[in-house]
Structure 1
Amino acid sequence: MSSSPINGASYVLTGLRWLPKSGLRGFVAIPLLINTLLFGAGLWWSTGQFERLDRTVAGWLPDWLSWLHWLLWPLFVLTALVVVFYTFSVVANVIAAPFNGLLAERVEKMANPAGATPPTAELTWKELLLSPLTELNKLLYFIGWAIPLLVLSFVPVINVAAPVLWALFSAWMLALEYSDYPLGNRGLSFRDQRRLLRKHWPRTLSFGGMTLLLTLIPVLNFLAMPAAVIGATLMWVREMPERGDGSRRP
C-alpha cells in the first residue's frame, strides 16, 4: 500500500473489506450488535427530543416573534445532533472498548504474523476491566475541546467557521479514538498517542475524516467502528515506524 502521508482514508476502506475475514468475525459481531442497538435507541430518543424542543421553543416566543422560531431551529437541530452524535458514540465505544482491543490485537497478528506479540497480550483480562476507564479519560479530553468549540458556534461572525472546525475536531477525535486500540496494545499512553498522531497529522486527519464520513452514511455507520479499529491497526502496523518502546520497525 502507498506510504503517502494522506492515505489514512484508504485504511478505513481496507478495514471495511477486512470485516468478513475468517478469524475476525467474532470480534466484529459483538461491537456491531452494540453499535446497532445504541444507534437505534439514539435515533428513537432524539426524534422525541426534537419534537419536544420544537414545541417548547414555539411556546416561548410571542406571536410577533414567531419568525425567530424558523431562524433558530436549524441552530438548535445542529447543536442537538452534535450532542446526540458524541453522546452515543462515546457510550458505544465505552461498552465496546474491550472487544475493540482484542480485535486490534488479532488484526495485528494477521497483518504481521512474524512480528512481536503486543506486550499487553498476556494481560487481556486486566485490559478488559480497565478499558472503560481509559475511555472515560479520553472523554474528559474530548469534552475539554468540545466546550470551547460549542461556545464559538454561538459567537457572531466566528460561528461561520464553526462547521469546518467541528469537522476537523471530529476527524481528530475519531482518529485518536480508534488509534488508541493498536497503540494502547503497544503500551503507549494517551499523551504519547496524541504526540505520535500529531507528528503524522495529514494521515491522521484523512483517516479520521473518512471515519467521520462513514458514520454519517446510513447502514455503513453501523460498520464504522469495527472498520475504523481494523483500519487504524493496519495503519499502525504498515505505516507508522515508531513502536511502543520507542524503537523503529525493521
Structure 2
Amino acid sequence: MPAPALSGPQYLREGLKLVLSPGLRLFVLLPLAINLMLFVGLIYFAGHQFSLWVDHLMPTLPSWLSFLNYLLWPLFVVLVVLMVFFTFTMLANIIAAPFNGFLSEKVEVVVRGTDDFPAFSWGELIAMVPRTLAREMRKLGYFLPRAIGLFILSFIPVVNLIAAPLWLLFGVWMMAIQYIDYPADNHKLGWNEMLAWLREKRWQSMSFGGIVYLVLLVPVVNLLMMPAAVAGATLFWVREQGAEAMAQQQKITQS
C-alpha cells in the first residue's frame, strides 16, 4: 500500500538506519570519502568568495532607500547559500553516481529480501559507470536550463525578490528526482517515464525531496545524509510501487 503523502521524513529516517547497518556500511564508505574531500574543497573556496558573490547579487539602491539593504541582505545570503548547495550536490552526485546506484541495488535487496541483481564485483561497479554517468548528464540537462533561468532572474531588480523561493521549490523537486532516479535507473525505467511517475506522486515526491533538501543544507551532516537519501529513495521506490511504472513502460514498448 502506498505510504501517506507526508512520508518523506520516515523514508529518510529508515534509509539512515539501513546505511548504518553492518551489511551496507561498506558500500557507503567510499562515496562518503569522496564527498568529504569535495565538501572541504568547496567550502574553502566559497568561504573566500562568499561576500563578493553577495555584493554582486545585491541590487544598487538609491541613498534614500539604503535602509532596505538590511532587509535584502539576508535574502541574498540565502540565495548564495542555495547556489553553493546546488553546486556541491550536483558535483557530489555526478562523482558518486556509480556508487549510489550500487548502494541502491543493495538496499533494495535488503528491503525485498530477494537478490535479483548480479553479485558484487569491481568489474560490475566499473561497468555501471557509463550508464550512471549518462543518466547524471540527463539530470544535468534537465537541471541546467531551469537553473540558468533562475540565475538570470536573480539579477533582475525587484523580480529577483522571488528568486530565492523559486530556487527552494525547484531544489526540493530536484532532490526527489536526483535520488529516486537511482532505483528507477537500476530497473531501466526511462527518464520521461520516471518523471511522469514522480508527478503522479507529486506530494509524496515533494515530501521526500523537501526533507532531503533540508538535511543536505546542514554542513557535515549532509555527507552522511547523501547515502541515507539514496537508501530512503529506494524505500520510496519499493513502497510506492515503482514496479507499476515499469510494467506500464513495458506495455507501451510492446504495443
Given the two structures, how large is their TM-score scaled by the length of structure 2?
Answer: 0.81
Q: CA offsets, 1:184-206, max 9 Å, x none? A: 00111222111111110100000
- The one-letter code matched in structure 2 to 1:211 is V
Q: Does 1:108 align with 2:111?
A: no
Of Structure 1 and Structure 2, the greater helix share is in 2
Is 1:212 the counterpart of 2:209? The answer is no
The corresponding residue for 1:168 is: 169
Whole-angstrom CA distance in 1 between matches of 2:144 and 2:229 = 21
Q: Secondary structure at the match of 1:6?
A: coil
Q: Cα–Cα, structure 1 residues 54 and 66, in superposed 2: closer, same or farther, change >3 Å?
A: farther
Structure 1: gaps of 5 or more residues: none
Distance 1:78 1:100, change over 3 A: same
- Could you tell me whether the CA contact under 8 Å between 1:186 and 1:243 is conserved in 2? no
Provide, for residues 185-239 of structure 1, a one-character-per-residue CA deviation record: whole Å limited to 9, x for no partner.
Answer: 0111222111111110100000000001111223321112101000000111122
1:181 Cα offset (Å):
0.8
Quote the residue 1:229 is aligned against.
230
Q: Quick one: distance in 2 between partners of 1:42 and 1:234?
A: 30
For residues 6 and 71 of structure 2, what CA distance do their matches in structure 1 show? 39
Report the alpha carbon displacement of residue 130 of structure 1 after superposing the two structures with TM: 2.9
Matches within 5 A, 1:92-131: 92-114=92-114, 116-117=116-117, 124-131=125-132
Give the aligned partner of residue 253 of structure 2: none
CA displacement 1:6-63 (0-9 Å, x = unmatched): 2123101211122211221111111111111111111100011125557989xx99x9
> 1:88: which partner in 2?
88
Does structure 1 conserve the Cα–Cα contact (< 8 Å) formed by 2:15 and 2:232?
yes
Q: Report the Cα distance in structure 2 between the residues aligned to 1:220 and 1:239, rounded to whole angstroms.
A: 27
Residues 109-163 of structure 1, C-alpha deviations (whole Å, 9 max, x = no match) = 1110237448xx9965432233222212211210111122233344455444433
In structure 2, relative to structure 1, the CA distance for the partners of 1:190 and 1:51 (3 Å cut) is same
Partner Cα separation in structure 2 for residue 30 and residue 47 of structure 1:
26
1:185 aligns with 2:191: no
Cα RMSD after superposing both structures = 3.3
**Farther off after superposition, 179-188 or 237-246:** 237-246
Change (3 A) 1:155 1:245: same
Q: 1:224 is aligned with what amino acid? A: M
Contact 1:11 1:207 in 2 (8 A): yes
Matched to 1:12, the amino acid is L
CA distance in structure 1 between the partners assigned to 2:126 and 2:101 by the alignment: 11
The whole-number CA distance in structure 2 between the counterparts of 1:247 and 1:81 is 39
What residue in structure 1 maps to residue 246 of structure 2?
A: 244
AA partner of residue 240 (structure 1): Q
Relative distance call for 1:17 and 1:52 in structure 2 (3 A) is same
Q: List per-residue Cα deviations over 1:41-91 (Å, max 9, x = no partner).
A: 11100011125557989xx99x99998976775565444333322222111
Q: Distance in 1 between matches of 2:77 and 2:108?
A: 40
Aligned positions of 1:124-139 closer than 5 A: 124-139=125-140
Shifted more, 131-140 versus 65-74: the winner is 65-74
1:203 aligned to 2:204? Answer: yes
> What is the TM-score of this pair, normalised by structure 1?
0.83
**What code does the residue aligned with 2:228 have?**
A
Letter of the 2:235 counterpart: L
Query: Which stretch shifts more, 136-145 or 169-178?
Result: 136-145
Distance in structure 1 (CA, Å) of the matches to 2:147 and 2:9: 24
> Residue type of the partner of 2:151?
L
Distance in 2 separating the partners of 1:53 and 1:245: 48
